[in-house]
Each structure stands twice: as C-alpha cells, then as structure tokens.
Structure 1
Amino acid sequence: MEYLQTQGIRLPRLGLGTFRMQGEACRAAVESALALGYRHIDTAEMYGNEEAIGAAIATARIARSDLHVTTKVWHENLAPDAIRKAFDASLKKLRLDYVDLYLVHWPRSDMNLQAVLETLLKLKEQGRTRAIGVANFPVALLRTAVEEIKAPIACNQVEYHVMLDQTRLRKYLATKAIPLVAYCPLAQGRAAADPTLVAIGRKHGASAAQVALKWLLDQDGVAAIPKASRRESQRANLDALNIGLDDEDRQAIAGLPKNKRCVDPAGGPDWD
C-alpha cells in the first residue's frame, strides 16, 4: 500500500468508504476489509455506523498505529460546543482514544469557519485527533481556511472520478501540498458500465471499475475511498493497484465527458 504524507500523518491511498453501510452488515464489511489488508477506514457522524466500525476494529486486534480512521462532524453541529459533543460521541462509538483525521463534513454558508477550525485544532492539540481537514470545500473556502485562518488542513475530501473534472481544485491543493481524498471514485457505479473503461479493462485483464480506480490512484496527491461491502469487491479494488495504465489509456479517459456530479445536495457549496 502506498501512503500520502500530510500534516504529520501517513494516509493510505486506498481506503474503505462506508456510507450507507449499517449494523452487522457494516461490521462484517469492515472486518473483511481489515482481514484483506485495508488500513484506512472512512466514516462519519452522519453515517450512523461508527458503533459497528468500532466493534469491527476491536475484533480485528490490529495495532492502533497501523490503522487510519477518519470521521467527520455533520454540518448541523458546527458550533464549537456542538463539535466537541459530536466528537466525544464519535470517539466513544468507535471505541478509540483518538482518530487519525477529523473533518468538517460539509460547509455551511452561515458557519463561523474560524471558530470551527479553531475548535478542531484544539482537539488536535489535545491529541484526540492526529490531524484535521475538510470535505466538500471548493477553492474559495479552502483559500480562507488555509491562507487567512492558516489552519493545518490535512486533506480535502470531495467527489472525484473519471466523469468529473476537478482540475482547478487539484491544482490549488497541489500548491499547498494538501491531498485530495476522492469519494464516489467509481461515480456511484457508472464507471463500471462505461464502454471506454470496459475496453481499457479488457486490454489489461481488468474490470472497468478497476481502471477507473487506478486512474485516480496514479495521480499525485490523490487517495480514494470506494465503498465496497462484498469481499470480492474489496479484493478487486486492492487488485486495481497492480494495473499499469499507459498513455493511450489515459488519453482515452481524458476524452470522456467530465461533467457528471453525483452528489450535489440542496444548500451545498458553490463548486465554482
């Protein structure tokens, strides 16, 4: 497994996304992933599965220093006291003494960003999270966080895949040495049926989904957290690391439409 170095932590470039996994099914999926060698588990307060993930981690008995766990505070809890309360609840459910990365899940137009990030930074200073970061932040908000507030942002977790252009955001992140963590890296399953990706996969003895994932992981400063509940899918995602895409493949992928955003909730940020 390759790692990205950011704000004093090592972030495994391939992780397990757990959105919409619940209960025993979630616990079994995380146990399976950890047994296969995954060491990066992504969750959030809003997912309602931190307890199941905590149980899976406890069962796995992996050295804590070998495991990376990210969780996130929901946008309804961005007042300082609410952040602290939400963090305490997340840590208890996960059965951990600390998390590796604590993120603002979604920005709010009326949030006090400086107060939010100062609260997260205090959690870091207390050793309760090893690093802090954000999710779903466009460039304008990142500039405020990084250049004005000067917060030690360890990543920006956003939707990114072969069907969505994130060039402007990636260029800004690169100038600040901040990794992009890609959620929905398979465009919610759309990548698996794309004829161009299917053809590239056939050439390499791989699936279209594996091609889409490797395309992301070949990019500097990019990690990915595909959701995979079945062991076969988890293994296939790990095997994607072994594919060698060539210039012809990358050129074909560059020609795909790049305007498909799968996650765009009402009240979300202005992506431009």
Structure 2
Amino acid sequence: MSISFTKSGSTIPSIGLGTWELNGSDCLRVVTEALEIGYRHIDGAAMYENESEVGSAIINSGVRREDIFLATKINTIGWTPSKRKVTTLKNKDISKSLENSLKNLQTDYVDLLLIHWPRFETNLGDMLEILYKLKDAKKVKEVGVANFNSKLLNECINLGFKDIFCNQVEYHPFLSQAKLLEVMQDLDIIPVAYCPICRGDVARHDVIIDLAEKYSKTPAQITLRWMYQQNSVSIPKTANSYRLRENIDIFDFEIESKDMLKIYNLARNQRLVPNLEVNELEYPFD
C-alpha cells in the first residue's frame, strides 16, 4: 500500500502508475492489476490516447472511485503517441477537451488536471483561469502543471494562482533537479517525478546495484525509496506484473543519509524527454 502526501485537503499517493505508451489491452490489464495490488494513484493524459482503457480498468476493478487519485493532462503540444499531429488545443476548447476525457475515463471528475507542457495559445494566466473555473465547477479537484521551470512556477504565483498542487517533471538519479526542487519546496508545490528509474538505466549503475545488495532490494526500489525520502511522488510506468509489485514495495526500509548522497552524486544531466521549446516541429518523443 502506498504512503501519501497531503496538501490543501487532497491526498496524493507517493507511488503512482504512469500510463504513457500503455495501449489497448495492455493498458487495461496493467491498470487493473495495479489497482488489485494496491495502487491508488493513476496518472494519465489526453495525449496518451488510452483514457478509455484507463476508465474501463477503474470501473472493472471494483475499487471505489473516491479511493483513487486520478490525474489527466490537457494536450497543449498537438502530438499523440501514434505520431499523429492534432490541432493544437485552443483555450476555448479546454473545457470540451476535459469533458471528452471525463467521458472516456467514465467519471464525473478528475483529482488532478495538469497543463501537460508550457505552451499557451495566449498566456499562462488565461489558461490557468480556465482550469480554476473547472475546479470551481467541481470537475477538477486540484490544478497542477508539468514540465514547468522555476521562472514559470514563480509566474503562476505572481499571477495570483498560489495553490498550484504539483509540478510533474522528469527526475531520476542521473538528472539533477536540485534548484527546481528547492523552488517547489519554497512555493509548497509537490514534485511528481516521471521516468524516475530512467527507463531502467538505474539497474545498470554500479552504485545503485551495490546499494540494492546492501538493503536487499532491487535497483528500482532503491531509486523509488530515494525519491520518497525527498518528499517526491513517483509515477513509474511498467507493463510487467512483477515490477508493478516491486515498484510499490518500498516502505519497509530507509536509506541512510550517506547513501542518499551517493545517489545524488550520480547526476550527469541525462535527459530522456526533450525540451519542447527547443524543437517544436518534429515529433518530440523519439
């Protein structure tokens, strides 16, 4: 069972299931299995083109909707995993996009709605205004952002949006986010890490392998526990049933401070997901 973090009355489990690139029957199976073994945080996005499968898995699981923390994101970049370019979402279409997500997810609300990438038709303030109206309408419990840098987070606050719930960013032992994490702590914004085990790269590093042997855990468990001890939420993605169980089984040990530092020192500026501001025209996730 996942331990959670609480902010503004909302509780987000510290380990969630990422659903990027989970498609069709695989997505249905994995989300169903995850809920069966105790996951209560499912992270999705309109861009992933699998919200129908996520919704069906939640319904079929028998887990009460109110016991699940369900997140989705609005597609602000005009791409889908099938490399199909879609019309870039306009501000006037955000409400309609959310309604479509709710229909596919078979729910009346999502616990968290995020701006998927910092790309705005007009400006950040206009988009946040729309998202907070959806929150007022009880279709969204919390508003968050993804892939925002420190400057943009401070801009949210300066615009008057002081209760941004979280910022979802790429974070793993090989990519330092120290400065951004410090800003998020100061602003009381929860960090949510995607690609936390660096698509399996952590299992190939000697330092993490040695720590896994020391603590009788796997490299993935060492890494996810390292995240948890920094008060960071992690949303690893896997289609493997064994790893599903492995990723959530991190709450029966604690990493010593000296070993935490060893993992911090592995940062080498390895980024898996490109900065979309740098290259807007090509499909960004090859």
| Bucket of the pairwise TM-score, normalised by the shorter protein | over 0.9
8 Å CA contact 2:117–2:148 kept in 1: the answer is: yes
Q: In structure 2, what is the Cα distance between the partners aligned to 1:151 and 1:178?
A: 9
Q: For the aligned residues, what is the CA RMSD?
A: 1.5
8 Å CA contact 2:176–2:264 kept in 1: the answer is: no
**Correspondence 1:252 to 2:262:** yes
Q: Which amino acid aligns with 2:277?
A: G
**Correspondence 1:136 to 2:137:** no
1:151 is displaced (CA, Å) by: 4.7
> How has the CA–CA distance of structure 1 residues 264 and 89 changed in structure 2, closer, same or farther, with 3 Å as cutoff?
same
> How has the CA–CA distance of structure 1 residues 189 and 111 changed in structure 2, closer, same or farther, with 3 Å as cutoff?
farther
Choose between structure 1 and 2: higher helix proportion.
Answer: 1
Aligned partner of 2:183 among 164, 172, 176: 172
8 Å CA contact 1:117–1:151 kept in 2: the answer is: no
SS of the equivalent of 2:21 reads coil
TM-score (normalised: structure 2)? 0.90
Q: Which amino acid aligns with 1:217?
A: Y
Unaligned runs of 5+ in 2: 79-87, 280-286
Partner of 1:41: 42
Q: In structure 2, what is the Cα distance between the partners aligned to 1:224 and 1:113?
A: 26
SS of the equivalent of 2:140 reads coil
8 Å CA contact 2:125–2:159 kept in 1: the answer is: no
1:85 is displaced (CA, Å) by: 1.4
1:233 is displaced (CA, Å) by: 0.4
Partner of 1:156: 167
SS of the equivalent of 1:172 reads helix
Q: Which amino acid aligns with 2:263?
A: I
**Correspondence 1:81 to 2:82:** no
Q: Which amino acid aligns with 2:135?
A: K
1:38 is displaced (CA, Å) by: 0.2
Q: Which amino acid aligns with 2:176?
A: D
1:61-119 deviation line (CA, Å, top 9, x unaligned) = 21121110000001145532221111011000000010000000001165421110011
Partner of 2:194: 183
1:129-173 deviation line (CA, Å, top 9, x unaligned) = 111110000011111112223252110000011111111111111
1:151-209 deviation line (CA, Å, top 9, x unaligned) = 52110000011111111111111112110000000112111111110000011111111
Unaligned runs of 5+ in 1: none
What percentage of residue pairs aligned between the two structures are identical? 37
Q: In structure 1, what is the Cα distance between the partners aligned to 2:122 and 2:217?
A: 45
TM-score (normalised: structure 1)? 0.94
Alignment of 1:1-272 (within 5 A): 1-75=2-76, 76=78, 77-108=88-119, 111-220=122-231, 222-267=232-277
1:267 is displaced (CA, Å) by: 2.4
Q: In structure 1, what is the Cα distance between the partners aligned to 2:16 and 2:278?
A: 25
